[in-house]
Amino acid sequence: MGIFGLFLLVQAMTLTLRFTDNALEIYRRDTLIRHFPYEEWQHWEIFWEPVPVLFYFREINSIHFLPIIFSPSALRACLETHCAAAQAE
């Protein structure tokens, strides 16, 4: 469990999620490493609401699970702002 905690700490310190007008972008420091256009999102969900630990979203061709290493309420607000339609599906 200690190694996993260390892994999450490093991820939290080096990764940044940016919700742009068109996509969720993931940066490692200043380098864009992934780009997820909202138009391809089919569904998103935050699991285990009492203690949110997992963020799931499905695109047209793939699914993604991310540990929540950031504020769950800020994540939900950004998701509802930028891709509310995908939540309802």
pTM of the predicted model over 0.85 = no
Q: 63 pLDDT exceeds 90?
A: yes
Tokens 């950004």 map to which residue?
78
Residues 15-61: tens digit of each pLDDT = 888 999 999 999 988 999 999 999 999 999 998 877 778 889 999 99
d(CA 20, CA 83): 11
pLDDT at position 89 over 60 = no
Q: Which CATH class is domain 2-88?
A: mainly beta
Domain ranges within the chain, ordered by starting residue: 2-88
State whether residue 40 is helix, strand or coil: helix
CA 48 vs. chain centroid, Å, equals 15
78 SS3 class: helix
**DSSP state for residue 49 in the 8-state scheme:** T
